[in-house]
Amino acid sequence: MKRFAAIAGVLCTVGLAGTATAAPSSGARAATTPPRSHLRGFECQRSIDPVGRTVSVTAIMRPVSGTQKMSVRFDLLTRTKSSGPFTVVRGGDLGTWLSPLDQPTLGQRPGDVWVLSHPVAALPAPAAYRYRVVFRWVGAKGRVLDTHTRTTASCFQPELRPDLSVRSIAIVPVAGKPNLSSYVVLIRNGGATAAGPFVLQFATSGRVVSRIVPRLGAHKTRTETFLGPVCTSATAPVVTVDPSQRILDFNPSNNRLQASCRAAGS
């Protein structure tokens, strides 16, 4: 699993609820009794910038009879294939029991409500994510009174960055000029979004030629031709796309390619 950042939950607590002047009937009480645990506000934020890829959910918890302490655990699950099991993501406070430390007695009154939001950012992509949230009520002497588990829907995070690469360098002799070759460079954007403008750099024998490519669409290719000395082991040119890394590129490792002199005349 690639590196990601877990953002700490944002805590919000609500104290004792108001007391009704008359007890409702059993039917009305059943209809209006709020759940002891539920989830709301599940959000899936997609972004071309990995830092902006987030998921978040809010857990709401109320005490059961005899509660001395309430706690909740957020598990983030992921899978990189459309089928197969989800696996647990590790890091930050994921998988850790959280309690309202600023109000340690919260949950000891029947009307208490604990609201806890938990976002996670910088998610690797492409992958699907979902929360599994476990609620736990603890009574006297640390006895666990009850637990509930809630699961959210899935959030698919696509990889939206462009992926520039130098695919090939074809070497073509120049008629009537035995000391020169024409280098036909094929570049590609294998990513999901267009890139540009960016620099395409051709370097050989201490000479560097830079050219601006205004735009290269998603999954598109483009050829650019440069003139240089005949390809030898000492003069084999190196072509680099976006040498200053100004583009938010998914995989910069394929942005550079050196010509193979064996390809001369191809």
- Which of 134, 157, 180 delimits the end of a domain? 157
Q: What percent of the chain has pLDDT over 90?
A: 81
Is the domain of 129 the same as that of 175? no
Tell me how many domains the chain contains: 2
Is the domain of 63 the same as that of 170? no
pLDDT in tens, 59-80: 999 999 999 999 999 999 999 9
Range of the domain at 120: 7-157
C-alpha distance from residue 192 to each of 117, 121, 137 (Å): 31, 21, 46
- In the predicted model, is pLDDT for residue 10 greater than 50? no
Give the integer Cα–Cα distance in Å for 76 and 56.
10
Residues 6 or more apart whose CB falls under 8 angstroms from that of 28 comprise none
- In the predicted model, is pLDDT for residue 27 greater than 70? no
Question: What average pLDDT does this structure show over 193-204?
Answer: 97
Is 200 part of any domain? yes
Instruction: Return the pLDDT at 255.
Output: 98
Is the domain of 75 the same as that of 199? no
Q: What percent of the chain has pLDDT over 70?
A: 87
Exposed, middle or buried, 157 (CB in 10 Å: 0-12/13-18/19+)?
Answer: buried
- Which of 103, 135, 157 delimits the end of a domain? 157
Instruction: Return the pLDDT at 249.
Output: 97
CB 220 within 8 A of CB 203: no
**Residue 5 banded pLDDT, cuts 50, 70, 90:** very low
Is the domain of 200 the same as that of 68? no
Which of the two residues, 127 and 15, has the higher pLDDT score? 127
Is the domain of 150 the same as that of 34? yes
Instruction: Return the pLDDT at 24.
Output: 37
Is the domain of 183 the same as that of 130? no
CATH of the domain at 246: 2.60.40.10
- Which of 157, 173, 192 delimits the end of a domain? 157
Is 2 part of any domain? no
pTM as predicted: 0.79
Q: Can you say whether residue 203 is alpha, beta or left, with left for phi > 0 and alpha for psi between -120 and 50 degrees?
A: beta
Is the domain of 19 the same as that of 143? yes
Instruction: Return the pLDDT at 197.
Output: 98
CATH of the domain at 139: 2.60.40
Is the domain of 11 the same as that of 57? yes
| Nearest to 164, CA basis, from 190, 186, 201 | 190
Give the integer Cα–Cα distance in Å for 111 and 120.
30
pLDDT in tens, 247-263: 999 999 999 999 998 74
Is 47 part of any domain? yes
Is the domain of 116 the same as that of 221? no
- In the predicted model, is pLDDT for residue 6 greater than 80? no
Is 205 part of any domain? yes
Is 46 part of any domain? yes
Is the domain of 104 the same as that of 192? no
Instruction: Return the pLDDT at 83.
Output: 85
Which of the two residues, 8 and 134, has the higher pLDDT score? 134
Is 1 part of any domain? no
Is the domain of 42 the same as that of 137? yes
Question: What average pLDDT does this structure show over 89-99?
Answer: 96
- In the predicted model, is pLDDT for residue 208 greater than 80? yes
Instruction: Return the pLDDT at 262.
Output: 73
Instruction: Return the pLDDT at 123.
Output: 97
The dihedral sign for the CA sequence 148, 149, 152, 158: positive
Instruction: Give the mean pLDDT of the chain.
Output: 89
Is the domain of 121 the same as that of 14? yes
pLDDT in tens, 143-198: 999 999 999 999 999 999 999 999 999 999 999 999 999 999 999 999 999 999 99
